[in-house]
Chain A
């Protein structure tokens, strides 16, 4: 049977056309063994076929690394194809089998001298892939020759190889002068060499921000601009991205760079186009707006952006994400191009959604009629997500373009008539916002809305409808019946709906007190007695107390005039927008997040800002309106202290923030102070009266606060942010005990134990070096491998030598954090090479991350709040510290000794909450909330950090110092 199957296989092999699929017809059993035999065959042809089979297996993800020695044996051949195949194999496995790869080194060196430039290039390229220190010494000479090779193909390959080598051994590359050679290659006569030289320099500079490799001065700029015309499309992207980091001296230089970059807008490669757009958008900032050239440039930017939209959908997507930024910064560029953003029904969904967003941004009085007609068309499409977004977009139009509001409302009513469930629900949600933007204008439609009450099954729509009923209770005859009908299933509703229902019924009661007393009693008791939700319970209590103490005041609070919804609540905050404009074309621009938010452990992320304009005529621009609106945005991001108190009370008199953050802008000073000074005293603990901060807080959004901040308040609010004085003095630096890093058995008698400590801003590696060998030791030296935070010895290690047998010595090695960076696993792992006259020894140790906590790690409170909100919840992690018997003050003091700073503290239900911040030497901040409960030895730490990888290490530091 088996024989027959094999026979069939064979037949197929010969019967089918000669393709590579035949390499898969060998039987599984003993495959590697068979290949081994074939690789060692005497016949050249058989060997070649075998190597091809090996490569084919590798391509589909099979592990054929076991064949390494056999494949390497095939390398000594004059058959170019075979040689190339072997090299392909080597490149794939050289990284994982470095020791084996060394076996081939002689052939590499020999091949670097081969008369055929293809082979020379192949050899130098492959050598660069073998990441072993030992190989670098063999590589230097061949590489030097190849960098000056007569053949451009070899030179361009060698240029990339310098970057590879630098990655392995930066010092060596510098010492050998390769960097200078590389810089010279920027002026090479061949464009491909230029492109690769720029690419290599960029990569090196990226991993070594301090290397000053290409400090951009007018001379290098000129070189780069010349190279831009010469080099390949890929090189152009590198050069343009590099140009974007230059800051021109004045507007004339700015203009001349723009002029030389503009032709790139007509390139067929969309990445070139977008990089050119980035450079122009940035340098434009420096041009005076009255300059003719400024206008010309604006006109030139539109067509290439439009062209990007006729490319493949994937390219369109990235282009649209970037256009979204560009229209926010300079709406004038694309204001006449609305039509290119019209959605085609066979666009992929991700393109549709982005186009819709941009349509809203471009909507203006001039084009609103067409936009609305389009949106209405989209609302009858098939895709539910898209339809929903289209309906929302109609609402956003109404809020953005006042003149269109009426038309938008009637369009929405038309859509409600379709009775398509999700369309109706979305329409009601946005109509609520329209009511808030234009009070007393469109309430006549309420009757139509009420007809659809029964079909609402999504919390957001239900909450919106309830808000409408409560807000306009006096105009709806059966408002009480409507609200009562919701009340029946109160406990099954989501919190959003429950809160809204509570407020709506209180409103109703205040408007029609006689008929609705029973209803309000019912809802108050449901909220306060039968609910476990603290938000709901507390709001219930506050209403209750308000109503029972002073109904007039209650009326003033609950029925107060609401602040209007602002025009564009969804604009990106201006400083972030500026930063993102500098990162057009990058992943940051796709995610609309600053690079620091997601580039892992980046060494000194540089915040980029747009250069200032020379003639700041900004306000004269007719389009400055939206920019003006945007400048108010920071207030929404960083709440004042007063807002915070408002949040703590979480009165949420406004409807839940559903369509993005609501504006804060004032308008709520209506006697809230009196109110709190009076009746609420007892409720809030008595010492709140007359706090000047209280007034402004009511409009603040309840959304996205750290859980503890919106939790019910029963302790003293005064304590909350006034406890600097309570935080103790720093104690002596925390120093974990030494552990043995390198046992004598493993290091020919050398034993090293040690620990890390941070003292007065200096990181020290404290070591005890013991000579347990029979002979003296001399010539000590230490080196670190690249590590997560760039730790490196600040100087050579000072060990008095010779170290006699059985002698030990304490050594303290100061470290800095400017070394090369590579992410380690675990993050705080450090690989050390330690040399003495006997040998080189390698060991790895872990340093407490606390040695990296900087002395200036105390965050401003408000920044803390804003940052905490800003970091997404997925980045939060919680840890338990068991068996810790400190009180919160002692804990705070201890933590301060390792530069974890307590910013605020408060007590809730006998639990002390400490809010703390720390900053790592590479600029990453970590924020923490530490819960300490008297009598409970278990602490809870919640950590939030933009680089959540560090959380585990930070927690370890907490545990170590608190339990010490």
Chain B
């Protein structure tokens, strides 16, 4: 006998905004009453932040699995044993699709495109089973709205429904349609690395890893078969690929061999966790302290370059969620601007470029609510930064070859390093 999951995985979907209004519902089997959501609302009430609502909730007769994206809860109602990751992945895919179609995934944009949204949902899931989730395929069945098209449609009574079957459906390469034609053939790859790190008070690295992703924009005619190789593929011990990548060749030769989808897609993600490979581009000297008496405190932050691979650190920004008791700040920045949001108690210092000759510094006093006890928690600093033209892990693309087509495409690779979840404890 087979396992525990049942095809009818998602019974219903509800989209709920932050104030708890249900602004879209879709039922694949029978209509489920909204009262089932009471359990969700209860959990939402209890949570301090919307992000803190647990993604899987149990009710007497249903399970509620939700994700939180773009200030919207996507909530699936489940009646039987279903792999929850399956549902969560699918919900994220729905959100990705909206993003892809409408440029953003927000309540307004969904409300403005209800019919398309409905058509998409119906096409993505049949009888609770995912049907078409590849954006290439979907876009041929249901055309995304463009301002031009909606104007034309209104004038001519045109349609936003594709009346042809997506050609990708006919081939064994579901992610690519046949008969793609371009006058300019081009293939661009962005290697984007994000540093996730926790540094402690003294500046020692507690934990660091690199999350890398290769985003591709491939506009090539016909059925090109690409091979991408790296100078140093050994760096990559943990990878996940777009379904188009031939895993066998990666295993044996460490090259990426694939027939690409048309347009933008994520070719691979990887992560580098061995710490000696993770360079930390900056150091932070900081001191945030509160005095026992006098209801005030001091703040002093200096940032300097560390391992920058000879490149300039840009887009430097420091975010500090202050303790609730901090009423106002009186600070001076040697470079850049700072703001302190009184409502959310978040201090943001936007520095910009890091000049090694003149290190940026922010210092001054913090005033604390009179009579309040000295804040107990230590605020952590969140760092944002960007370094162009380098992948901090040292990963380099060696070459890109194309087979199967005769023309010569434009090729390009760009590198960028950013801070991901980069935190400095105080």
Residues of A bordering B, CB below 8 Å: 17-21, 23, 44-45, 48, 52, 55-56, 58-61, 79-81, 84-85, 88, 91-92, 95-96, 116-118, 125, 128-129, 151-153, 156-157, 160, 163-164, 189-192, 196, 199-203, 205-207, 209, 213-214, 230, 232-234, 237-238, 241-242, 244-245, 263, 266-271, 273-275, 303-304, 306-307, 310, 312-315, 317-319, 339-340, 342, 344-346, 348-350, 370, 373-374, 377, 380-383, 418, 420, 583, 585-588, 590-591, 595, 598-600, 606
Quick one: given A191-B172, A310-B196, are A237 and B83 in contact (CB under 8 Å)? yes
The distance in angstroms between the C-alpha atoms of A611 and B111, with both chains bound, is 52
Q: Which of B34, B66, B80, B83 contacts A599 (CB 8 A)?
A: B80
Quick one: given A56-B114, A196-B129, are A587 and B82 in contact (CB under 8 Å)? yes
* Contact residues in B for A116 (Cβ distance below 8 Å): 163, 165
Is the CB–CB distance between B27 and A599 below 8 Å? no
Is the CB–CB distance between B161 and A81 below 8 Å? yes
* Contact residues in B for A266 (Cβ distance below 8 Å): 239-241, 247, 250
Question: Is B133's beta carbon under 8 Å from chain A?
Answer: yes
Q: B37-73 vs A: 1/0 string, CB under 8 Å?
A: 0000000000111011011101001010011100000
The distance in angstroms between the C-alpha atoms of A84 and B377, with both chains bound, is 58
Q: Interface with A: B265-273, B349-357, B402-410, which one?
A: B265-273
* Contact residues in A for B24 (Cβ distance below 8 Å): 59-60
Quick one: given A245-B2, A312-B92, A380-B376, are A598 and B126 in contact (CB under 8 Å)? no
Q: Which of A59, A373, A600 contacts B61 (CB 8 A)?
A: A600
Question: Is B8's beta carbon under 8 Å from chain A?
Answer: yes
Q: Which of A92, A164, A270, A583 contacts B27 (CB 8 A)?
A: A92
Q: Interface with A: B151-159, B362-370, B393-401, which one?
A: B151-159
Q: Which of B2, B157, B266 contacts A242 (CB 8 A)?
A: B2
Q: A21-B111, A151-B170, A315-B88 are in contact. List 10 more A-B contacts (CB 8 A).
A: A56-B118, A59-B24, A80-B159, A80-B163, A203-B8, A234-B130, A237-B86, A344-B423, A345-B321, A599-B80
Is the CB–CB distance between B206 and A342 below 8 Å? yes
* Contact residues in B for A85 (Cβ distance below 8 Å): 115
The distance in angstroms between the C-alpha atoms of A118 and B165, with both chains bound, is 6
Q: Which of B4, B130, B154, B269 contacts A206 (CB 8 A)?
A: B4
Question: Is B232's beta carbon under 8 Å from chain A?
Answer: no
* Contact residues in A for B378 (Cβ distance below 8 Å): 380
Q: How many Å from the CB of B199 to the closest CB on chain A?
A: 12
Residues of B bordering A, CB below 8 Å: 1-8, 22-27, 29-31, 34, 47-49, 51-52, 54-56, 58, 61, 63, 66-68, 78, 80-86, 88-90, 92, 111-119, 122, 126-127, 129-131, 133, 141, 147, 150-151, 153-154, 157, 159-161, 163-166, 169-170, 172, 174, 196, 198, 200, 206-207, 209, 211, 237-243, 247-248, 250-251, 266, 269, 271, 273, 321, 323, 376-378, 380, 382, 421, 423, 425
Nearest CB to that of B169 among chain A residues? A153
Quick one: given A234-B129, A317-B54, A342-B207, are A202 and B115 in contact (CB under 8 Å)? no
Is the CB–CB distance between A18 and B421 below 8 Å? no
* Contact residues in B for A156 (Cβ distance below 8 Å): 131
The distance in angstroms between the C-alpha atoms of A131 and B271, with both chains bound, is 49
* Contact residues in B for A96 (Cβ distance below 8 Å): 30-31
Q: Of residues B3, B161, B163, B239, which shows the largest number of chain A Cβ atoms within 10 Å of its Cβ?
A: B3
Q: How many Å from the CB of B202 to the closest CB on chain A?
A: 11
What 10 A-B pairs come out closest when comparing CB atoms?
A: A303-B238, A203-B7, A19-B112, A271-B85, A314-B55, A205-B2, A81-B161, A81-B159, A234-B130, A20-B114
Q: How many Å from the CB of A731 to the closest CB on chain B?
A: 37
The distance in angstroms between the C-alpha atoms of A847 and B402, with both chains bound, is 71
* Contact residues in A for B242 (Cβ distance below 8 Å): 268
* Contact residues in A for B68 (Cβ distance below 8 Å): 314
* Contact residues in A for B4 (Cβ distance below 8 Å): 206, 241, 583, 586, 588, 595, 599
Quick one: given A192-B174, A270-B85, are A318 and B377 in contact (CB under 8 Å)? no
Is the CB–CB distance between B271 and A306 below 8 Å? yes
Quick one: given A192-B169, A303-B237, are A587 and B84 in contact (CB under 8 Å)? yes
Q: Which of A18, A303, A590 contacts B151 (CB 8 A)?
A: A18
The distance in angstroms between the C-alpha atoms of A234 and B51, with both chains bound, is 27
* Contact residues in B for A95 (Cβ distance below 8 Å): 29-31
The distance in angstroms between the C-alpha atoms of A211 and B227, with both chains bound, is 47
Nearest CB to that of A44 among chain B residues? B157
Is the CB–CB distance between A160 and B169 below 8 Å? no
Nearest CB to that of B130 among chain A residues? A234
Quick one: given A304-B238, A318-B55, A595-B4, are A263 and B23 in contact (CB under 8 Å)? no
A-B contact pairs, 9 of them (CB 8 A): A55-B115, A59-B25, A80-B161, A125-B126, A157-B131, A163-B127, A202-B6, A374-B206, A585-B85
* Contact residues in A for B78 (Cβ distance below 8 Å): 587
Is the CB–CB distance between B56 and A590 below 8 Å? yes
Q: Which of A23, A153, A315 contacts B85 (CB 8 A)?
A: A315
Q: Of residues A20, A23, A242, A342, which shows the largest number of chain B Cβ atoms within 10 Å of its Cβ?
A: A20
Quick one: given A85-B115, A349-B52, are A199 and B169 in contact (CB under 8 Å)? no
Is the CB–CB distance between B159 and A160 below 8 Å? no
Is the CB–CB distance between A267 and B27 below 8 Å? no
Is the CB–CB distance between B127 and A345 below 8 Å? no
Is the CB–CB distance between B238 and A128 below 8 Å? no
The distance in angstroms between the C-alpha atoms of A303 and B164, with both chains bound, is 42
Q: How many Å from the CB of A570 to the closest CB on chain B?
A: 20
Q: Which of A191, A213, A271, A345 contacts B380 (CB 8 A)?
A: A345
Is the CB–CB distance between B88 and A314 below 8 Å? yes
Q: How many Å from the CB of B198 to the closest CB on chain A?
A: 6
Is the CB–CB distance between A241 and B243 below 8 Å? no
* Contact residues in B for A192 (Cβ distance below 8 Å): 169, 174
Q: Which of B25, B81, B160 contacts A586 (CB 8 A)?
A: B81
The distance in angstroms between the C-alpha atoms of A310 and B61, with both chains bound, is 32
Is the CB–CB distance between B271 and A418 below 8 Å? no
Is the CB–CB distance between A241 and B127 below 8 Å? no
* Contact residues in A for B127 (Cβ distance below 8 Å): 128-129, 160, 163-164
Q: Which of A55, A381, A583 contacts B377 (CB 8 A)?
A: A381
Quick one: given A92-B27, A234-B133, A377-B425, are A275 and B83 in contact (CB under 8 Å)? yes
Is the CB–CB distance between B129 and A307 below 8 Å? no
* Contact residues in A for B1 (Cβ distance below 8 Å): 205, 209, 245, 606
Q: Which of B7, B52, B130, B166 contacts A350 (CB 8 A)?
A: B52
Is the CB–CB distance between B115 and A20 below 8 Å? yes
The distance in angstroms between the C-alpha atoms of A695 and B89, with both chains bound, is 55
* Contact residues in A for B170 (Cβ distance below 8 Å): 151-153
Nearest CB to that of A342 among chain B residues? B207
Is the CB–CB distance between A60 and B115 below 8 Å? no
* Contact residues in B for A20 (Cβ distance below 8 Å): 111-116
Q: Which of A84, A203, A234, A373 contacts B119 (CB 8 A)?
A: A84
* Contact residues in B for A118 (Cβ distance below 8 Å): 141, 163-165
The distance in angstroms between the C-alpha atoms of A370 and B241, with both chains bound, is 33
Q: How many Å from the CB of A884 to the closest CB on chain B?
A: 30
Is the CB–CB distance between B81 and A588 below 8 Å? yes
Quick one: given A56-B115, A587-B84, are A160 and B52 in contact (CB under 8 Å)? no
* Contact residues in A for B321 (Cβ distance below 8 Å): 345
Quick one: given A59-B117, A61-B22, A91-B122, are A267 and B6 in contact (CB under 8 Å)? no
The distance in angstroms between the C-alpha atoms of A60 and B238, with both chains bound, is 43
The distance in angstroms between the C-alpha atoms of A586 and B47, with both chains bound, is 25
Is the CB–CB distance between A61 and B29 below 8 Å? no
Is the CB–CB distance between A60 and B118 below 8 Å? no
Nearest CB to that of A121 among chain B residues? B165
The distance in angstroms between the C-alpha atoms of A599 and B82, with both chains bound, is 11
Q: How many Å from the CB of B393 to the closest CB on chain A?
A: 14
Is the CB–CB distance between B2 and A202 below 8 Å? yes
Q: Which of A56, A190, A214, A237 contacts B172 (CB 8 A)?
A: A190
Q: Which of B5, B27, B425 contacts A202 (CB 8 A)?
A: B5
* Contact residues in B for A585 (Cβ distance below 8 Å): 83-86
The distance in angstroms between the C-alpha atoms of A306 and B269, with both chains bound, is 13
Is the CB–CB distance between A59 and B81 below 8 Å? no
